[in-house]
Amino acid sequence: MNAIKFGTSGWRAIVADDFTVRNIRIVCQGIAQYLRQQKIAQQGILIGYDARFLGEHFAKVVAEVMAAHGIPCLLCDRDTPTPAISYHVLTRKLAGGINISASHHPPEYNGIKFTPSWGGPALPETTKAIELRILPLLHGEFIKWIPWERAKAEGMVRSFDPQPEYLKSLEQHVDRDRIRNGRIRIVFDPLYGTTRNYLDEFLRQAGAKLAVLHHWRDPYFGGLRPEPTDATLHDLQETVRTERAHLGLATDGDGDRFGVVDTDGTYIPANDILPVLLDYLITSRRWTGAVARSVATTHLIDAVAAHHGLGVHETPVGFKFIGELLAKGEVVFGGEESAGLSIHGHVPEKDGILAGALVAEMVAFTGKSIQELLADVCQRVGTRHSQRTDLSTSDPMQDTIKRVVDHPPTTFAGDEVRQVNKMDGCKLILQDGSWFLLRPSGTEPIVRCYGEAKSPERLKEIMEAGNSLLHSART
């Protein structure tokens, strides 16, 4: 293996291929050396893992390396959501957190998510510093670790239950009385992942009537990606319809992404949930200030923010950039089209548990379906239709995308290009407000194509023009 690179959200690889015990030790020694260089190693680190194969074993490997470098470890007592780890890193003033997780990737993957002391996903300057420390380890520098039993005997590792305090913290951000008074029926699907006894427990305590699907650990995730999408939530959709529930909620493998199903079983994408929830939160919390979204996320957020007099920050894809703005207190809300959300005062990390609880509060308090709420918002601020397509490729297609970035078209889909945004890939913003974005995935060998327009017909033209642009750039 020539290099270990951190992507949009940590390092991920296929188990027994590149994700091996040796490479885990290498990555963790790089992190340990970084923490010691920052002179915060003695503050300790929190170690967790998701529901994948050998999660407990890999977490112990992490602890063995950290203990050898004199870094005290808290080891989660079961598979744990990433946002819960972020919460405890912040509140306990730890040097950082490591979660053995590949998030929403297929079951053959695993990975390492590193949360620095400020509680959000590691920023590029941090991961680059760690990668520089990893390089000599890949080429033979001594890897330092001590056996698990010795690490425990020396008091370097302690077991830790992150659930109670984290759930208690949600009460500061979610109005449980509104959920209780709304008497709503919810179906929850953790997709066999880490949020079992997290989101469902919070909603039960809040008085919601709850049915739960797939509430056991399955490293195969039922044969599907643990990603809450229209393709993976058929059981949830059917159960919501048959049980006549008000709402269906889901989370991904490590609990940082959310999925929502409306009362009629319709899957509602994040690009529709985010602006509706933003509108509700601004109104109910009387927020002022600004909000943040990634470059790939719907501009319906901008329209809602403008309607209420709030500004908008646009960031590259990756919640770390939104998290940084939340941590600095520069925004009150941040969202990504890939189903990431957090709010000020909470963790600067996307949190699917918080998102699900807030959606439950909104539906309970308003007494309306998600589609009714979306129609209300669009009536006030205008309609947007968005789409994303993913093109798998063995070639990262960096050269193709670079050609588009270096020589963007002046006209696109029959309209003049008003602005070219090169923040992350190439985003073409047209005179009529439509836009198209082409960028490589930061975690998979995939090229992502995003589009948005004010009508389904116009969106189809945008996506077809995008395919033509990509084809011409490749030839």
Residues 353 and 262 in one domain: yes
Q: What is the pLDDT of residue 393?
A: 66
Residues 141 and 200 in one domain: no
Residues 283-320: pLDDT tens digits? 999 999 999 999 999 999 999 999 999 999 999 999 99
Residues 261 and 325 in one domain: yes
Average pLDDT, the chain: 96
- Count how many domains the chain has: 3
Give the domain-ending residue among 381, 414, 433. Answer: 381
Tokens 């959920």 belong to: 179
Q: Would you report the helix, strand and coil content of the chain in percent, each value rounded to 5?
A: 40, 25, 40
> For residue 210, which amino acid is it?
L
Give the three-class secondary structure for 200. helix
Cβ-contact 318, 348 below 8 angstroms = no
Neighbours of 415 (CB within 10 A): 17
Residues 72-88: pLDDT tens digits? 999 999 999 999 999 99
Residues 55 and 128 in one domain: yes
Residues 152 and 239 in one domain: no
Q: Which of 406, 404, 407 is nearest to 436 (CA)?
A: 404
What CATH number is associated with residue 131? 3.40.120.10
Q: Which of 337, 341, 334, 352 is nearest to 389 (CA)?
A: 337
Q: How far is 280 from 381, CA to CA, in rounded Å?
A: 14
Residues 125-135: pLDDT tens digits? 999 999 999 99
Identify whether 292 is part of a domain: yes
Give the three-class secondary structure for 461. helix
Give the domain-ending residue among 97, 132, 162. Answer: 162
Identify whether 259 is part of a domain: yes
Q: Which of 281, 242, 284 is nearest to 263 (CA)?
A: 242
Residues 427-438: pLDDT tens digits? 999 999 999 999
Identify whether 227 is part of a domain: yes
Segment 53-67 mean pLDDT: 98
Q: How far is 299 from 386, CA to CA, in rounded Å?
A: 9
Identify whether 172 is part of a domain: no
Identify whether 5 is part of a domain: no
Tokens of 248: 């269906």
Residues 376 and 256 in one domain: yes
Query: Between 3 and 134, whose confidence is greater?
Result: 134
CA-to-CA separations, 308 to 336, 363, 455, in angstroms, rounded: 20, 21, 24
Give the three-class secondary structure for 77. coil
Q: Report which secondary-structure segment, H or E, holds 185.
A: strand 185-189
Query: Between 189 and 470, whose confidence is greater?
Result: 189
Instruction: Name the percent of the chain lying above pLDDT 70.
Output: 98
Q: What is the pLDDT of residue 229?
A: 97
Helix ranges (H only) for 50-175 are 55-68, 82-91, 124-138, 148-153, 163-170
Residues 462 and 347 in one domain: no
Q: Report which secondary-structure segment, H or E, holds 446.
A: strand 446-453
Q: What is the pLDDT of residue 391?
A: 83
Its pTM surpasses 0.85:
yes
Residues 373 and 393 in one domain: no
Residues 356 and 392 in one domain: no
Q: What is the pLDDT of residue 395?
A: 59
Give the domain-ending residue among 381, 403, 429. Answer: 381
Structure confidence at residue 343 as a pLDDT band (50, 70, 90): very high
Q: How many CA atoms lie within 13 A of 247 on its CB side?
A: 32
**Domain range for 138:** 11-162
- 24 has a pLDDT exceeding 90: yes
Cβ-contact 28, 65 below 8 angstroms = yes
Residues 271 and 406 in one domain: no
CA angle in degrees (0–180, nearest 5) for 447-385-473: 30
Cβ-contact 451, 429 below 8 angstroms = no
Identify whether 81 is part of a domain: yes
- 18 has a pLDDT exceeding 80: yes
What CATH number is associated with residue 457? 3.30.310.50
Cβ-contact 291, 314 below 8 angstroms = no
- 54 has a pLDDT exceeding 70: yes
- 394 has a pLDDT exceeding 70: no
Residues 195 and 322 in one domain: yes
Give the three-class secondary structure for 413. coil
Q: Which residues pair with 76 in a beta bridge?
A: 160
Q: How far is 315 from 292, CA to CA, in rounded Å?
A: 7
Residues 444 and 356 in one domain: no
